[in-house]
Structure 1
Amino acid sequence: MNQNELITIGVIVAPHGVRGDLRIMPTTDFPDRFLTMEDCYIDGKQYHITSARYHKQFILATFKEIPDRNAAELMGRKEIQVSREDLVELPEGRYYIFDIIGLTVFDTEGVELGKVSDVLQPGANDVYVVQKEGEPDLLLPVLDDVILEIDVPGGKIIANPPEWI
């Protein structure tokens, strides 16, 4: 499988116990998915999950291909990935951050404001960081009256920046 088609949903922190279990820090908004997943990718290679359970803020998982602690110790700091087809389907109007980054932002007049370079998550709402060469970064709050349209397949966002920006 092509590495560019894989999405990271967790990072292996360390081995756990002597049977080859791995301690995984979920990096997804849907950590429960680990409990029902059958397979995933590590370094582009498919691995089969035989069991998974919560342990504090971690997931402890056992893999068919990792039979003991010696094999598990080689897996530290590696990413757990899934294919795009295996992502949790989001409700209408919700998007994955990696789909938003790179979109071109236009104002309501069709003037290009720049490209989304990052998505900040300070609390109440997300904030899109929009960069355009030679200009300071533009911070757009993700509010219904500011972000009017998101067209991921078309690669663009229509925004109505607040007057103070």
Structure 2
Amino acid sequence: MKHNDFITIGVIIAPHGVRGDLRIMPQTDFPDRFMHMDVCYIDGKEYHITSARFHKQFVLATFKEIPDRNAAELMAKKEIQVRREDLVELPEGRYYIFDMIGLEVHDTNGNVLGTLTDVLQPGANDVYVVSQDGEPDQLFAAIEDVVLDIDMDKRIMVVNPPEWV
């Protein structure tokens, strides 16, 4: 499998307890998935989750292949990943941020404004960061009035910039 076939859904913070449990910081909008997941990947190797539970903002998980605290200590700072085909299916018109990065952004007149380089999540709605060489970044609110179309097949986003942009 290629590296980009794996998607990070959590980061191992540290061992938890003496039996080899791992404390994981979820990096997903769907942290409940850890509760019913069987398989994940760490450094490209398959691991099997035997149990998981929430503890504060963390997930505490036990893995078949990690029998004790000594083995768990070697896992600190590693990423928990899943295969792309095991991602949670999103509703129509919703996309994963990592799939959107790199979209070419056009205005309603067909002018290329740049490339989507980041998605900020400050609160009420996402904000798309559009970059173009030699120009300051442009920020667009991810709302229906501004983002008119996203075509993932053509890798194009069409926006209606506010008048002050």
Normalised to the residue count of structure 2, the TM-score between the two structures is 0.98
- Tell me the residue number matched to 1:25: 25
CA deviation map 1:5-60 (0-9, x unaligned): 11110000000111111000101010000000000000111111111111111111
Residues in 2 aligned to 1:65 and 1:150: alpha-carbon distance in whole angstroms: 42
Q: Give the aligned length.
A: 165
Identical residues among aligned pairs (%)? 73
Greater shift, 119-128 or 72-81, is seen at: 119-128
How much has 1:109 moved relative to structure 2? Answer: 1.1
Residues in 2 aligned to 1:135 and 1:54: alpha-carbon distance in whole angstroms: 45
Normalised to the residue count of structure 1, the TM-score between the two structures is 0.98
Residues in 1 aligned to 2:154 and 2:37: alpha-carbon distance in whole angstroms: 31
The root-mean-square deviation of aligned C-alpha atoms, in Å, is 0.8
Question: What secondary structure sits across from 2:37 in the alignment?
Answer: coil
How much has 1:80 moved relative to structure 2? Answer: 0.3
Task: Letter of the 2:103 partner, please give it.
Answer: L
- Tell me the residue number matched to 2:159: 159
Residues in 1 aligned to 2:36 and 2:3: alpha-carbon distance in whole angstroms: 23
Residues in 1 aligned to 2:10 and 2:153: alpha-carbon distance in whole angstroms: 26
Residues in 1 aligned to 2:70 and 2:43: alpha-carbon distance in whole angstroms: 18
Residues in 2 aligned to 1:71 and 1:2: alpha-carbon distance in whole angstroms: 26
Question: What secondary structure sits across from 1:34 in the alignment?
Answer: helix
Tell whether the 8 Å contact from 1:9 to 1:79 is kept in structure 2 after alignment.
yes
How much has 1:162 moved relative to structure 2? Answer: 0.6
- Tell me the residue number matched to 2:48: 48
Gaps of 5+ in 1: none
Residues in 2 aligned to 1:163 and 1:27: alpha-carbon distance in whole angstroms: 36
How much has 1:112 moved relative to structure 2? Answer: 0.4
Residues in 1 aligned to 2:146 and 2:56: alpha-carbon distance in whole angstroms: 39
CA deviation map 1:101-154 (0-9, x unaligned): 110001111110000010011111111000011111111111101100011121
Residues in 2 aligned to 1:90 and 1:57: alpha-carbon distance in whole angstroms: 23
Q: Map of 1:124-135 to 2, 5 A cutoff?
A: 124-135=124-135
Task: Letter of the 2:43 partner, please give it.
Answer: D
- Tell me the residue number matched to 1:76: 76
Gaps of 5+ in 2: none
List structure 1 runs of 4+ shifted beyond 6 angstroms.
Answer: none
